[in-house]
Structure 1
Amino acid sequence: MEKEDIFVLSTFQQNQLSSFKDVTKEFFEALKDLSLGELVHDSSFSLEDSISALEMMDPKMDNGLEMNNEIIWDVEAELNPYKVLGLIDKAFAAEISWQSGYFLSQTVFTNVYIQKLLLERQGVIHINDFYLENKKKQTIYKDLVDVVLWPFMIASIKTCGIFCQIFNKGTLYEEEEVSFNSHGLSLLDNIDTAQILDLLRFSISWLDSHSSKFDEEDRKYIKVIQSRLETKISFLRALDFSSTVDSIKDLEYIINKENLIFDFGQEMDIFFSISVQAKLSTTMPPRPIMILPMDIAFNDFKHICEDFRRILLLSIANPSILTPSNILNFFKYFRAKKPASGIFIRTMLQSLFFSNNNMILNKYPVHQFVMDSISEIYSAKELFNVINKSNETYNDSKYSIFNSINNFIKTATPIYMNIFRIMCHNLSRQRRNFCKLILDLEFLQTEAENIDMQLHFHEDSIQKQDNIYPYIFSSWCFYEKLQIMILICFLGFELELHSSHELSLIYWYLDYLLKIYQTHLNKISSYNVRFFNKKYPTICFSEKNDTILVTQQMKFDQRWTNGLQLLCNSFYKLFLILKHFSLICSPNKPQAPKSFMYKQRFKPFLFLKTPEFLNYETFIKDSDMSDISIVELLKILIDNFSKAKTIFEIIKNTDPKISSMLLCYDDFQNNVKNIVELCLENELTCKIILEKYNHLWFPTISICQNHETLL
């Protein structure tokens, strides 16, 4: 290498070197306040950090190590009302935080007062110890702690214990939804709720009689503390379930309470300690304290009370409106509500709906519930009445049919009940479990086809006519399966699973499913009308009044499906237009072929016999816009949005008895109102695009990465 080249290389290397600064002095200046061996944690905590923490015996990763410099609050110290209120509110926020999915060891158990009750007393608590007459004379502030704060902490533990009992009754996914692992500590199961309620009432009466002993500033917080105690009493009584009507009144009292959020008191972190995790029987590393801000916690609590009240109202509703379609619509709107209901509410809905293995809402046998669901489509109550009253001999020709139908109902019952059970899970679990459920419905449909064939043969042998009878049972299975398939696709939007470049694909498949569903509804409706007009007797169909209602409800379903299908078709074409103008772009380097990703997206439908699975080539063919101009396509979209808006405006005024929305009418009205506004806004958007697109002077120009101009 020549000298000149070496000089150039040296100069280049010097230019690439960073300029360094000696920070030794600043470094030691920052360390002077740290003790020997003390660790400094960054806000992030990666896998590499955790390995290093294990090597250096960081307490952050070892439950067995206690932090020597942690100050633990003396629970025997006296507190003024402002601090007591702050502690009560944060203890309450810890309860709500636990229901949000955190561990008890991160929330409720971090309270030093609760640690005292559970660890030192080993959960052995004598209620009489907390009545003032059993204590020595002391200051008013110490009495406040003993008579008010300690009883509230006992009530907080008891509330968690009741929640754990409720969670155990529901079908949920522990750790994924909520952890009710108490780490071997007693949650006061041995103490009756009535004893705790009496203790809280004594606390309120004590505050009433002793409020004059506090100064004027303290009395303001004493009133708020009383309100908190009354709220806790009302909620514990609502959880008692001794009387549903009384529980509803208690919840309404909480919901209408104006001073529920008045002042949160003085919040002090010293009342909460993570050191409890070193004393619990757990193999998990220490976890940080996770308690929601108190305003958020109280707002969540109010939502819990509102949802709880709705569930209890369902359980005492008039039996005449507790039809399968009404209840199913209630579940559909309840599962999709925003903000989403917490785990306690969803478990309560499960527990009340499946009151025991054989009854629905303690009113209907489960097999009767399934029969009613089928009768809502084909008005087949007469058929089921004959089955229930059948006394035919084994040689009777009907016996084989009725026996097959009874076996079918037994098989269908757990599958149909799973629809309601799955709707009580979180959204991710709903979609996953619905994908499994459609396979069960597929197998059930195959079994139902055999029963329908037997029923057809029996009817034809009686009438001696070549009438095409409906496939009642297989048609019902297909009806339910299509509803679940459509819901699975819409759940993808709720879970935000779809990328922008996939939207046209999803709406295209939804358009296809809704067309199949609409065709199926038309077929059911035509069968009902045909057999309604027949003069000869049949065991398949019921009386005139029942058939009229079924026909009206079917027309509503047809109108609703038609509106949804118009919207999905419109959005499918709208996103094709956006793709055409490169406003939505596919990934530059896809990880897999598009046909493979298509199959993955619709994998739950891939192995179903009905409806037929559409392949990716069909989508490409249908998405070809070469035969139609953008202007014509925009006009079609405007027309579709206008038609959909008209349909949903008619739907909005439908009698709730016909729409089967008696249990969720307000939610239904809000949903339809939003859809109408959506149709109007998108119609206007398409008109604006069309006007700009057709302007003779000023064309709409879009600049893409390849610098091409699209008009």
Structure 2
Amino acid sequence: MAGAPESGNSGDQTLPLRPIPDGLSSSAPKSAKRPPNARDITAEFTQAASALNTGQLVKDDFFTLFEAVGALEIMDPKMDSGYLAPGEMLEDDYDVLRELLPEEVIGIMDQMLCYEMAWHMGHPLSQTLFTSLHIDRLLWPAPVKLKEARFYRRPPEVGTNRFLHTVLRAYCLATIKTCDFVNRRISAEHYNEEEDFVSNLYNRKLLTQFSRTEIEEILTKAIAWVTGQKKIVAKDVKTALLSRLNFRKWFMAAVAFGDDVDDLDSPSMWQQCAKLLPLLLESRAVGTEVADAFSAKIQRRLASTVPPRPIVNITFEEAHSHLSRLCEDGKGAYEILDYHGGNNMLTFLWTFQSRNPQPSIYIRCLLQSLMSNETKVLNVMSVRQLVFDDLAEMVAPAHILIDPSNDYVEAPKAPGFQIMKRMEIFVSRAAQSYLDIFRAICMNRERTRRMLCHMIVDWDNIQLDAEELDTELRRYTDEEPIHDPNSGEDLWSFPLSSWAYYHKLHQMEWIVQLGFELDIYQIEELAGMYWYLNHIAQTRLQHLQRIRTFTTRRFSRLTNPTSETKAAFKRSLSFLDFAMLETSATQSFADALACLFAALPPLSLLPPTPAYPYSTPSLRYSLRMRPFLPISLPALPTFAEYSCLIPSASVETPSDLLDEAELALKRARKEWEAVSKVGPETGRCVGCEEGWRKGVKDVLRGCIAGSIAVGAVRRAAGRGRER
């Protein structure tokens, strides 16, 4: 190409650079001059193109889309990683082996911690930790032995700076290994790539082949060396170095990932990390920043298809705040191992995830790992046992369906064998979907709602399959139906399908509630969506009442029940009573808000509904309710039914709607106060009682705020009538 720079020595593996032409570096455009060797090929090109048919594509098989786009990116500073501005060098002139003062080592450590936390926040390594020249020197070329992970390529001279080769090297190695543990933990669980976390390592290995013990030995030697420096290092500098090295040691141990890790030891390690955090913040001023030790030019050497991007910088205070929450959440996550039933686990996860800000992606993946690992739940029980425990608590206390003795029946025609056979079918069908509920809650709020929208369809099918199994199991359980005098029909308990139906209804409630939290609904939709939440809660309440009817009837027919049987029924009835109270409170609050928001438009207290020229109310309703359209039971009301059922000022006056809202708020407040007074065992909040009670108090404050809002609307309506 004319004007292209000549390449260097053919033996040099460095690619030729494309420096910007001098004529383009000036801010004022210069007059265009035709190069001496330029030739006008317009006529030849036109003649050659005339031989082509209209629409015919000419493509070289070896000139792919990648090359085509790459050609467009050449000389674009935002896209061309090989582009060099005038006077810019390809490599940084920072000397990694230069003597470092202990204050400079502290500054580099703190900057690495900031980049590490930025990575935890969702930014890629190429814009954070991999911009460190020291880390790049340790990781490339990839070390085969740990002693090869060093800053120098040749043996150092006598008098080597120990702060660099002993202290900073140990800190860097521990940081890399910590990132390796974090990356492996997150990659092993369910998460959203480049939405919550970027796992791309750019063809680098994070010392995966080396054990934590090897890294800890190097850290221990560095700590011992710093401890012995009594005259060379000032006391405050020494304290700062030791606090950072010790923190790195405990942090690496806390996030350790592998078969040799004991989860029971991790909470104490997170606690040790939290104790050292104040020292890091207090000694922040001791360090000296070394900005040249980090460079975005390293991105040119990383295996990546994305253009160069700027370094992500966060303040040390932001990194410290994120790290503090990480340690607190890391310690609290292990409370889930204290098993008290599936419903208690659900309460724990919802309470834990409701923390503001939401726990980081690492903590959410840690929860998934603790909750279910391969075939074990909470490292102590099978998924089958988890499902059976939930069935016992909800619909089948001390029931023959979940009797452990069925597993030992070998006669094919025996009832226990047939029951066990069908229960295995049910567990194989429902177990994964049941675990997916817990996993969905561990996602970010948007993904949680999206996953629940897909899962309720699966639970609808589980309910249908369970009904068939319930019908078959009647032959072996000797169940007697309840005769309904009104309809003249026999009512059966359907324990398995009732269990599936309850969980489906609960997930439908969560979907609607998350819609409010995520501000999905338009203002004019609020009254209708609060009504639908009220409708689902009412359906769940009726279903719980039905389950309780069959449970109490079965208990009343027992002769000489054992203490274990009595305890099982007591636990089940306790759950049903509390669930009914909580559901009724949710229904009352939703009813009140539906009436309140329905009363606002006719009083001109809400912004006017915008015009939608390309849609109709019926179409908008079907789009809003799309997640619930495939559900067979409860069937989604048609738009005509929905229009008649929701609170509306066209049917009732705003004053009547406000009266209904006021009564519903009083009822909701009374019920939520009753909810707040239950114990942790009854409320299924063992291990998260403090957070759960805070959530209930927030709902109570919402009831009070609703009552105040009703009064304010009444006064505004009165002033409007006076005018």
Q: TM-score range by the shorter chain?
A: 0.7 to 0.9
- How far apart are the structure 2 equivalents of 1:96 and 1:331? 24
Superposed CA offset, 1:373-418 (max 9, x none): 1111123333211663452532345644442222111111111111
Taking a change above 3 Å as real, the CA distance of residues 345 and 286 of structure 1, as seen in their structure-2 partners, is same
1:331 equivalent in structure 2: 349
> Does the alignment pair 1:276 with 2:298?
yes
Asked whether the equivalents of residues 54 and 61 of structure 1 are also in contact (C-alpha less than 8 Å), the reply is: no
- How far apart are the structure 1 equivalents of 2:151 and 2:83? 34
Asked whether the equivalents of residues 603 and 717 of structure 2 are also in contact (C-alpha less than 8 Å), the reply is: no
CA RMSD of aligned residues (A): 3.0
1:354 equivalent in structure 2: 372
SS of the residue corresponding to residue 585 of structure 1 reads: coil
SS of the residue corresponding to residue 197 of structure 2 reads: coil
1:363 equivalent in structure 2: 380
1:203 equivalent in structure 2: 222
1:592 equivalent in structure 2: 615
1:303 equivalent in structure 2: 325
2:236 equivalent in structure 1: 220
> Does the alignment pair 1:244 with 2:266?
no
Asked whether the equivalents of residues 380 and 542 of structure 1 are also in contact (C-alpha less than 8 Å), the reply is: no
User: Letter of the aligned partner of 1:381 in structure 2?
Assistant: A
> Does the alignment pair 1:638 with 2:659?
no
1:31 equivalent in structure 2: none
Taking a change above 3 Å as real, the CA distance of residues 461 and 602 of structure 1, as seen in their structure-2 partners, is closer
2:709 equivalent in structure 1: 685
Superposed CA offset, 1:195-219 (max 9, x none): 22222222222222224223x5xx4
User: Letter of the aligned partner of 1:339 in structure 2?
Assistant: P
User: Letter of the aligned partner of 1:213 in structure 2?
Assistant: I
Taking a change above 3 Å as real, the CA distance of residues 54 and 294 of structure 1, as seen in their structure-2 partners, is farther
| Residue among 264, 267, 280 paired with 1:260 | 280
Superposed CA offset, 1:248-295 (max 9, x none): 222112223332322433334322111111111222111221132221
2:312 equivalent in structure 1: 290
> Does the alignment pair 1:668 with 2:692?
yes
- How far apart are the structure 2 equivalents of 1:39 and 1:433? 54
Give aligned-pair identity as a percent: 26
Asked whether the equivalents of residues 665 and 706 of structure 2 are also in contact (C-alpha less than 8 Å), the reply is: yes
- How far apart are the structure 1 equivalents of 2:560 and 2:546? 22
1:175 equivalent in structure 2: 194
- How far apart are the structure 1 equivalents of 2:619 and 2:26? 50
Deviation at 1:167?
A: 2.2
Deviation at 1:611?
A: 0.5
- Name the one with the larger helix percent: 1
| Residue among 74, 91, 101 paired with 1:80 | 101
Asked whether the equivalents of residues 350 and 421 of structure 1 are also in contact (C-alpha less than 8 Å), the reply is: yes
1:161 equivalent in structure 2: 180
| Residue among 310, 314, 320 paired with 2:336 | 314
Taking a change above 3 Å as real, the CA distance of residues 36 and 231 of structure 1, as seen in their structure-2 partners, is farther
> Does the alignment pair 1:524 with 2:543?
no
* Equivalent runs, 1:615-654 vs 2, <5 Å: 615-621=638-644, 622-654=646-678
1:571 equivalent in structure 2: 593
Paired residues in the alignment total 644
- How far apart are the structure 1 equivalents of 2:167 and 2:22? 40
User: Letter of the aligned partner of 1:581 in structure 2?
Assistant: L
1:101 equivalent in structure 2: 122
- How far apart are the structure 2 equivalents of 1:659 and 1:461? 31
- How far apart are the structure 2 equivalents of 1:262 and 1:113? 25
Which stretch of structure 1 is more off in the superposition, 509-518 or 529-538? Answer: 529-538
* Equivalent runs, 1:527-566 vs 2, <5 Å: 527-535=550-558, 543-566=565-588
TM-score between the two structures when normalised by the length of structure 2:
0.83
Deviation at 1:51?
A: 9.1
- How far apart are the structure 2 equivalents of 1:114 and 1:199? 16
Superposed CA offset, 1:503-553 (max 9, x none): 1222111111111111111111111112211146999x9822211221121
User: Letter of the aligned partner of 2:323 in structure 1?
Assistant: F
> Does the alignment pair 1:419 with 2:442?
no
SS of the residue corresponding to residue 422 of structure 2 reads: helix
Asked whether the equivalents of residues 114 and 316 of structure 2 are also in contact (C-alpha less than 8 Å), the reply is: yes
Asked whether the equivalents of residues 101 and 175 of structure 1 are also in contact (C-alpha less than 8 Å), the reply is: yes
Deviation at 1:619?
A: 2.9
Superposed CA offset, 1:133-190 (max 9, x none): x965538xx3322222222111111111112221232122333332222121121122
Taking a change above 3 Å as real, the CA distance of residues 110 and 396 of structure 1, as seen in their structure-2 partners, is same
- How far apart are the structure 1 equivalents of 2:23 and 2:280? 48
Deviation at 1:557?
A: 0.7
1:234 equivalent in structure 2: 250
Taking a change above 3 Å as real, the CA distance of residues 35 and 573 of structure 1, as seen in their structure-2 partners, is farther
Asked whether the equivalents of residues 251 and 305 of structure 1 are also in contact (C-alpha less than 8 Å), the reply is: yes
User: Letter of the aligned partner of 2:251 in structure 1?
Assistant: F
TM-score between the two structures when normalised by the length of structure 1:
0.84
Superposed CA offset, 1:458-486 (max 9, x none): 45588999974311001001000001111
> Does the alignment pair 1:150 with 2:166?
no
SS of the residue corresponding to residue 61 of structure 1 reads: coil
SS of the residue corresponding to residue 213 of structure 1 reads: coil
User: Letter of the aligned partner of 1:262 in structure 2?
Assistant: E
SS of the residue corresponding to residue 207 of structure 1 reads: helix
| Residue among 391, 400, 415 paired with 1:374 | 391
User: Letter of the aligned partner of 1:115 in structure 2?
Assistant: D
> Does the alignment pair 1:496 with 2:512?
no
- How far apart are the structure 1 equivalents of 2:446 and 2:715? 42
1:445 equivalent in structure 2: 463
- How far apart are the structure 2 equivalents of 1:169 and 1:507? 38
Deviation at 1:639?
A: 2.3
2:46 equivalent in structure 1: none
1:116 equivalent in structure 2: 137
> Any gaps of 5 or more consecutive residues in structure 1?
1-33, 41-49, 702-709
Taking a change above 3 Å as real, the CA distance of residues 345 and 36 of structure 1, as seen in their structure-2 partners, is farther
SS of the residue corresponding to residue 317 of structure 2 reads: helix
Which stretch of structure 1 is more off in the superposition, 384-393 or 680-689? Answer: 384-393
- How far apart are the structure 2 equivalents of 1:346 and 1:256? 23
Superposed CA offset, 1:308-338 (max 9, x none): 11223433x3xxx431111121122223322
Taking a change above 3 Å as real, the CA distance of residues 199 and 35 of structure 1, as seen in their structure-2 partners, is farther
SS of the residue corresponding to residue 183 of structure 1 reads: coil
Taking a change above 3 Å as real, the CA distance of residues 59 and 637 of structure 1, as seen in their structure-2 partners, is same
- How far apart are the structure 1 equivalents of 2:626 and 2:717? 39
- How far apart are the structure 2 equivalents of 1:355 and 1:273? 40
Asked whether the equivalents of residues 39 and 58 of structure 1 are also in contact (C-alpha less than 8 Å), the reply is: no
SS of the residue corresponding to residue 600 of structure 2 reads: helix
- How far apart are the structure 1 equivalents of 2:677 and 2:695? 13
- How far apart are the structure 1 equivalents of 2:638 and 2:93? 65
- How far apart are the structure 2 equivalents of 1:494 and 1:454? 42
Which stretch of structure 1 is more off in the superposition, 435-444 or 197-206? Answer: 197-206
